[in-house]
Amino acid sequence: MSDFAKNKKAFFDYEILETFETGVALTGTEVKSVKAGKISIKEAFVKILSNELWLVNSHVAEYEQANRFNHNPTRSRKLLMKRREIDRLIGRIKEAGLTLVPISVYSKNRLVKVEIALAKGKKTHDKRNTIKERDLQRELGRDIKLK
């Protein structure tokens, strides 16, 4: 299992409650470009349209060896999950004010998978606390390293 992209910003901006593994519908040139590591999900989010999950704002660079049949780099891509799981996610999002964010893109058994998370947005003071904790851990690591 190799990672192609991670969304580190999601861990800072959101409190992750639960993660899910989804498939993603890609064209041939998109698969080749993703496996070459040319994908970005930093600004991406998951949108629900007509009871389907869509990955929006992800950027898959055009495949260099492709000719005129290349793909659109910023198109929305359908996420593949079982209907029962999608319905459960939609219910949780509507009742609790939660959102879905992509966490990582990786391969599993030669298939491209997207890990999405059910998340709750952090307030500004929560983000400040996260920064303080991270700085404290960094300082402790430095102190231990010096001794």
pLDDT of 36 reads 87
Q: Which residues, given as ranges, of the chain have pLDDT below 70?
A: 1
Q: Which residue's entry shows tokens 């498939």?
A: 23
Q: Is the Cβ–Cβ distance between 101 and 119 less than 8 Å?
A: yes
* pTM of the predicted model as reported, rounded to 2 decimal places: 0.79
pLDDT of 11 reads 84
- What are the tens digits of pLDDT across the range 107-125? 999 899 999 999 888 777 7
pLDDT of 118 reads 92
pLDDT of 1 reads 65
DSSP character at residue 123: P
Looking at the DSSP bridge assignments, the partners of residue 102 are 116
Strands 77-80 and 52-56, sheet pairing: antiparallel
Amino acid (1-letter code) at residue 61? A
3-state helix, strand and coil shares in percent for the chain, rounded to the nearest 5: 35, 35, 30
pLDDT of 124 reads 76
**Domains defined along the chain, listed by start:** 3-122 (2.40.280.10)
pLDDT of 85 reads 93
Count each helix (H run) and each strand (E run) in the chain, helices first: 4, 9
